[in-house]
Structure 1
């Protein structure tokens, strides 16, 4: 605590370094498949709706399991639950390469979703517990960088490998969470335990506090799910989709990291609405670019992906910091579950809903315009949440299971 309390580098903390490595490996499995798996489903003959449903099944299983993670940690402990989650996420991944039907892809995804839930809810526990509150945004920024780094490289790489007929390589790369097991002991050793005089947690209050910023996050991840799932399907030939996803991952990683430092210093009053407005512009540019071909159209898609990536990363960090601040010292495990459920629900809705709407005859470009309108409708909520004050609901250290959320992602 004392090391983190000074303005020294948080990278000096062994727990932060272990957490970074653990999440890079854990989220590599998520990001390498998020666009590759729907593309593989279409190669097996699935339509747009069925291809998006594979991602939806994975995320629905994740959301449902997230609600049980705090209970499992209280029963079995933080390290065993996190380790089991890493195994469940990584070990079944090679089975994707053996599947010849989209239904088997969905079954494997459901199992992996259970493991992903544990990583999502518990992955940020150390980031909140080893630094004082005034450095939490920076710590979560480092954590977000660990989650975003795999997105930077593996989303476009997984898509390119799958479109080139090398999906088996993607399936093997997705086993990376198993290697992350070696970092679990050091990453969990420094997590604070609740004191004997800690007040009873206000679970309902934490849910109410986390809902508004999580609603903003849900809309942004809905747009992200629609972009990551269907851009490679809409532009399967050439380098446009992989390059766009590379730019998306780059700006998402950098903005999530730097937004954490900025929110500690200047607050979220202007940052959250500005990030959301940038996302609106980015999605509109992608929609515009998909209506044409050639250099100007490609430039619009790439610029839009870059802008939306910046919004996507920043909103992740800002919304989680605001959710924790609004909950005060309430049960952060509950805040984490609400935040993560919103993230994954939004991504699942985007993966299924964008494809279903586009398949009605509206087409993907106009569907993205509808998505941009949804983002714009969330701007008033972002203004109110960003200007809100912290709610204090108790005192004392947080439980071991009380980590803030993650991603990425």
Structure 2
């Protein structure tokens, strides 16, 4: 798979693009609080960016038709990376929200088109492995960039984080190294539209898990800011297990089918959220270890479900509707992260992080039942 034409360029572009996103995911809310933004509004900078992302994702298929896939990717990389150092021009919440919104437009393009390129590169029957390898390239910045950025921000070096956030611009020359997308085939009767009901059932589980993940990334550093080592290890291990699960889930899905693996993802996710919430209720080394363990276990479900639900979405859509299916999947992913950053922050500030995590676990249970029924119906 690594020798497939265009795959090295896709991996490099994904590493650079998602590094910018993950650098600011947890660090920007933390820095905003340090600059005087109320704690309850800390997650708003993430929410605004991802609201802009979701709003733009539905327009990406039209942009590709208008100016082509390479030019659309170049615009996305520039919009994501170039404005990031501008965060340093003002610490006012309005300015931070405006810059975040512009970056969200670029992130929308990157998230919709990169998994689509992975399927265009992959030989038949290997989409799971291609998506897994792409997912690993996306998850590696999560492993390194999130804890690094939090540590730098805690040490007063957020300007370094903002400067590093411009790296997607370096990937612009790579956009022409991919094989051209296959020509569109005439649509068959009954396939002109996405199967919305089945797709919504599967993406509901993705929404619940990304909502939980968005809350963990944005709010755990704020809620547990007196336990710096616990936060760093929790975010690091969540990123590691998420990366490994997203990578290996692709190979398993090629052999067993993605639908069969969804129930296991749900069970693991509920277990991880429960342990994290339990640990957040106490103080000291024991509860801190539970927070770290819970985050690591949750990462398995968080990463694995991303691969599985994306593959199921592409299967449901068929070869001719994968661009809008990718847009729907990414809109769900980013909406969940945005909602989680704001909702979990509000619940944790008004009640406790434990209550917020247990609520997320209940949501995963409910949506998992619907997702399994939808996946079996597809099969």
TM range, normalised to the smaller chain? over 0.9
Q: In the alignment, which residue of structure 2 is the partner of 1:347?
A: 337
Cα contact 1:206–1:330 (8 A) shared by 2: no
- TM-score between the two structures when normalised by the length of structure 1: 0.89
CA–CA separation in structure 2 for the residues paired with 1:346 and 1:233: 19
Task: Determine the structure 2 residue equivalent to 1:224.
Answer: 213
**Does the aligned pair in 1 maintain the 2:11–2:134 contact within 8 Å?**
yes
> Do residues 375 (structure 1) and 369 (structure 2) align?
no
Decide whether the 8 Å contact of 1:86 with 1:178 is kept in 2: yes
Report what 1:118 is aligned to.
Answer: 109
Per-residue deviation, 1:376: 1.4
Report how many aligned residue pairs link the two structures: 378
Answer yes or no: is 1:318 the counterpart of 2:318: no
2:267 is the counterpart of 1:305 = no
State the 1:382 CA deviation: 2.9
Contact 2:241-2:299 within 8 A present in 1 as well: yes
1:9-408 aligned within 5 A: 10-187=1-178, 189-195=179-185, 197=186, 199=188, 202-237=191-226, 238-360=228-350, 362-389=351-378
**Structure 1 portions without partners, runs of 5+:** 1-9, 391-409
Post-superposition shift, 1:182? 2.0
Give, in angstroms, the shift of residue 329 of structure 1.
3.0
Distance 1:161 1:48, change over 3 A: same
Q: Is this contact kept in 1: 2:56–2:105, CA < 8 A?
A: yes
For the Cα contact (< 8 Å) 1:289–1:297, is it kept in 2? Answer: yes
- Is the CA contact (8 Å cut-off) linking 1:201 and 1:331 kept in structure 2? no
Name the counterpart of 1:398.
none
Please give the per-residue CA displacement for 1:122-163, whole angstroms capped at 9, x wherever unaligned.
111221112244211111001111110100100111111111
2:194–2:321 CA contact under 8 A, matched in 1: no
Cα deviation for residue 389 of structure 1 reads 3.2
Q: Which moved more, 1:279-288 or 1:327-336?
A: 327-336
Contact 2:184 2:320 in 1 (8 A): no
Distance 1:112 1:175, change over 3 A: same
Deviation per residue, 1:192-212 (Å, 9 max, x gap): 2225x5648945334444322
CA shift digits 1:54-89 (9 cap, x unpaired): 111000000000111100110111111110110000
Once the 2 structures are TM-superposed, how far is the Cα of residue 377 of structure 1 from its aligned partner?
Answer: 1.4
Q: Helix, strand or coil for the counterpart of 1:301?
A: helix
1:180 Cα deviation (Å)? 0.8
